[in-house]
Amino acid sequence: MTLKKVTMTVKHEGCWTEDVNAHTVTLNLEVYPEKGYLRSWLISDSRELKDRMRREPSVKKITRVYGGKDSTLIDFLNVYEGSIAGALYALEVLIIGNHNKGGLEHWSFVTGQNSMSEIRSRISSLAKITDFRAEDYVLSYPSLTEMERRVLHLALDNGYLEYPREVDSERLAKVLGVSKVTFLYHWRNVQRKVMKYMATNMGID
């Protein structure tokens, strides 16, 4: 069976995404069909989005809001029935990413070639598909150098990504036998490559 990576754009009437011009990116998506909702973590460049979402019938509950200087992280529950995420989950696709911009939902997912007709039909019953593209899905990963891989594994294994950090960059640099400046140089390269890889695969412009 040939796997296809699909990028799909829809205008979903009746959803909170329809009239929102803010740019939002879904960071995590958990689906609970038996409970009738799905849980999403999204980051937005709008500080007012949470207020708009609270007025939407498709949003069951906003659990937490974390405000930052330039963005807001929103943890919320959305109704399962009639949602694009719920439909894709039921169709057993592998959801790679979702972001919303200008009143449109942009989805990327992996599915079998023979499933695309059924997917288009099901999504069309919920929303207007404005773009639907498919390409062969090629398994890939960020291209890291040997040092970058060592830096990444060391950071993950020693709690460098925890908050608060369990180890500082100077200590990790000593383990690698390099200067702190050299460690941070490779660490920033890792961040740049990983984020670029994620943005490309999630279909974020």
pLDDT 10s digits, 144-176? 899 999 999 999 999 888 878 899 999 999 999
Distances (CA, A) of 1 to 4, 81, 111, 128: 10, 30, 10, 28
Q: Which one-letter DSSP state was computed for residue 142?
A: -
Q: What is the pLDDT of residue 202?
A: 62
Averaged pLDDT of the chain: 90
pTM value is: 0.70
d(CA 66, CA 16): 19
Q: Enumerate residues 6+ apart whose C-beta is below 8 A from 62.
A: 50, 53, 54, 74, 75, 76, 77
Mean pLDDT per 10-residue run, the chain (205 residues)? 90 87 89 93 89 90 87 93 94 92 94 93 96 88 88 91 87 93 92 81 61
Burial of 166 (C-beta count, 10 Å sphere; 0-12/13-18/19+): exposed
